[in-house]
Copies of this chain bind each other. A is one copy, B any other.
């Protein structure tokens, strides 16, 4: 039998909290009809109630102490919208211990402490859901856990960070360099004042850890994931990518390797025909290859009050339906394995290499010989027109080759006198 009312407590009333509460209250009738119970926002906890927000709640819903949620036995579901780790971890674990289902879009929290928190949820026989943690409003966690639960997932490649995709898109469309575009993005609010988490790939690393954990049924130590950001991508690389038929994207990759997971975050050349190449601006997309489902892509807005609010409310509705059926914990965590992560040296992919060299005959021959001696074979060599003085550039695209071999070849190339600089090393995927 459905309850007449299911009560929600919200902890943190910033962008995400506001997005979720506004949606729950604005579409309350529609949601009630879908759940079979009214979903009521009973308590919202935040320290600051004076500041201006796009939407706010009645005085009787406003609290400043988390106890207002934990100690209220009528609250069934808690939305964690604090962000960060310390306070959020306490809030989520306390809520679970108080036998309340929890919804959080906090990717760092789930990537780092998901196992511990999912255990608490299981012990308390409640739900812990986190659809908003990856891809904002894009339904991806639920499809992975439910729709694709029978498939053998082979590979996940995601554009899962909107800030870096916005920056790379602007660099591609406007031919400008990273620093300039970042400054603009900061001015427009698309990048944080401290952009490290986005531009150095940490955010994408948390997200691929979560997706890979679900897809491959394994625990993942997020600290072991290789991650490289986009701060070294230059206008020159973007220009050459275009000329060669690629776009540069920050990819988060999680694939089955040889008995180990191939898990990494780095910028990559993506061929223009690939569905991911047409994901522009702040949009996110997750490309999934499974057996027998084949290729899938999930595309949408990866952040923001509205999209993340949508994901949080979808989870709240799921929790509420479980409560009404006494079915909390219906889709438990099944990440029992402990698959190793392939060391970066063992990863096999293609490479784009941009080298600055002395402008003299025989350079290509010398360099190609060294590459060949290290087992690096080439699909194309490209010598762009000079645009400045003092040397030439040569661009190389390799066949699929082990990372260790390329790194060894690059060390050898640096030692010969015709090579001034290895200016860029960017992987080629897709």
Contact = CB atoms under 8 A, between A and B. Distances in A.
Interface of A: 19, 22-24, 27, 30-31, 33-36, 131, 137-139, 142-143, 146-152, 217, 275, 278, 283, 290-301, 304-307, 309-311, 313-314, 316-318, 321-322, 325-327, 329-332, 334, 336
B314 A290 contact: no
Given A291-B306, A314-B147, A317-B149, A296 B137 contact: yes
B24 A296 contact: no
Contacts of A329: 325
Nearest to A296: B300
A82 to B, nearest CB: 21
Contacts of A34: 149-150, 217, 334
16 contacts: A33-B334, A34-B150, A131-B147, A139-B148, A142-B143, A143-B143, A146-B318, A147-B310, A150-B314, A293-B300, A294-B301, A296-B300, A297-B300, A298-B299, A325-B326, A326-B327
Contact of A19 (B275, B292, B322, B325): B292
Given A147-B310, A149-B313, A326-B326, 13 more contacts: A23-B151, A34-B217, A137-B296, A139-B139, A139-B148, A146-B314, A148-B310, A150-B317, A151-B314, A292-B310, A293-B306, A299-B299, A325-B327
A170 B218 CA distance: 42
* Most B-side CB within 10 Å, residue of A22, A300, A332: A300
Given A292-B305, A293-B301, A300-B293, A322 B314 contact: no
Nearest to A309: B292
A152 B310 contact: no
